[in-house]
Amino acid sequence: MYLSLLSNTHRICILQMVVLTMAFMKNKAFDIFSVINPMLKMGKSLSQ
């Protein structure tokens, strides 16, 4: 009983974190993509 309650609380916390992260990323999407795109290009060139 207690374990299932704990895991449910854990899931809610994780969901809240995910939602907050997504909201933050939406606001900072341009900044994040300007960082991720060069990294992806570098990764592609390294893997080739």
Distance CA 8, CA 16 (A): 12
pLDDT tens digits, 1-48: 566 666 777 888 888 888 888 887 777 666 767 777 887 888 888 777
Distance CA 22, CA 15 (A): 10
Vertex 25: Cα angle to 40 and 47 (nearest 5):
10
Residue 2: HSE in the Cβ half-sphere, 13 Å Cα cutoff: 0
The tokens describing 32, both together, are 């994040």
- Confidence at residue 5, expressed as pLDDT on a 0 to 100 scale: 64
Distance CA 23, CA 37 (A): 20
- Confidence at residue 3, expressed as pLDDT on a 0 to 100 scale: 62
Q: Is the pTM of this model over 0.75?
A: no
